[in-house]
A = this chain, B = another copy of it.
Amino acid sequence: MRIRFGILGTAHIANRVADAIESSGHQVYAIASRDLERAKQWVSGRTSNKDDIICYGSYDQLIEDDQVQAVYIPLPSSLADCWAQRAANSGKHILVDKPFSSAENVLQITQLCRRNNLAFLDGTQFVHGPRLKEMQNMIQSGAIGRLRKVNAAFTAWIVDSTNIRYDPSLEPAGCVGDVGWYVVRFILSFVGYDRKVISVYAVGNETDHGAMDDCCGVVQFEDNITAHFDCGFTSGYRQWGECLGTLGMFRVDRFQGAPIPNSSEQKDPNLHFQFRQVGEERNGRIERVEKETKDIWVPSVGKPQSVLLIEQFVTLIEKQDKEEREKWAKEAWKTQLLVDAIYQSAKTKQTILLL
């Protein structure tokens, strides 16, 4: 089935997701902006299917269009939650870009979609890629032994303080919601969404206008697993994540996604991670081993993560598999729950105990 998508908002990311919608064989049916001219401009900037995209000068108009089956919402989080609920109330399946403005709002969206038999997915791309799945599979098969630590960092030097990321009325959790969302999602992808959080402690920096532009800290999970997170807009661009266990360790650069090379001769960095074995079980005892770090290249599935995201969303729409829908909604909720706790800890300078 070819799904007709409506897009709420002309943010930069909307273009990339529109590409992914078209690449996966679905239709960018309509675009809405609060300003009709901006919607038209956005369409004129597209390279394909220009003439077929309907432009709306209000989000309501798009939501009321019966032809729209699914809505993609790349709005700032304080608006996204509200429009996600309105779209779901109009019977549209919803794909919402991260972050949300609170875990409570994620729950409300989930309940609404559950009641109306609608698909709901958040716009995190890397969790749909083959690299993450390969790392998860290796951990499940025992490659790193017992998991002890998952650490991740995502910082980007965002210089322009007029950026919406610096406006707490639009992005209440600042960098913790923005780049921090990916850090938290990476951590939970390996620690597991059901693992109890014992404590969260974060140190953050707030600008004069109350925007959190830097944050780092530590999360203690049950079973003696800890996580470091580091996110912010005030130091250089970097992304990395690592998983450490009693027998080995993984390291991945740009876990959230690197540009795909133009030439087919270059390898896709999104398929790469490193593994090093550090221990071996012999006769029920662990012995230390010294092995070289191995570069692991995951087989390509021939599609970028953005397309895999759209495919997953369409599968949720079509198959109506309740368990699968609950799984993805839970991941979004748990991620936002930890984002909220980190932000709260940094804001209040208190340890947040969750057990």
Contacts and interface: CB of A to CB of B under 8 A. Distances in A.
Interface of A: 144, 148-149, 151, 153, 155, 157, 159, 199, 201-203, 205, 214, 216-218, 220, 224, 226, 228, 230, 232, 234-238, 244-249, 276, 278-279, 285-288, 290, 349, 351
B216 A203 contact: no
Contact of A249 (B217, B236, B285): B236
Contacts of A287: 159
Contacts of A151: 153, 228, 230
The 6 A-B residue pairs whose C-beta atoms are closest, nearest first, are A236-B278, A235-B244, A148-B235, A203-B220, A201-B201, A236-B249
Nearest to A228: B228
B228 A230 contact: yes
A220 B217 CA distance: 10
B278 A237 contact: yes
Contacts of A148: 214, 232, 234-235
16 contacts: A144-B236, A148-B232, A149-B155, A149-B216, A151-B230, A155-B244, A157-B278, A159-B279, A203-B220, A214-B226, A216-B218, A216-B226, A218-B218, A218-B228, A238-B249, A351-B351
A251 to B, nearest CB: 9
Contacts of A155: 149, 244
A158 to B, nearest CB: 8
Contacts of A159: 279, 285-288
A121 B38 CA distance: 67
A280 to B, nearest CB: 11
A245 B235 contact: yes
B230 A203 contact: no
A290 B236 CA distance: 10
A248 B236 contact: yes
Nearest to A345: B201
Nearest to A351: B351
B201 A351 contact: yes
Contacts of A203: 199, 201, 218, 220, 226
A323 B234 CA distance: 36
A202 B205 CA distance: 19
Contact of A288 (B157, B217, B288): B157
Nearest to A247: B236
Contacts of A217: 201, 218
Nearest to A215: B226
Contacts of A285: 159
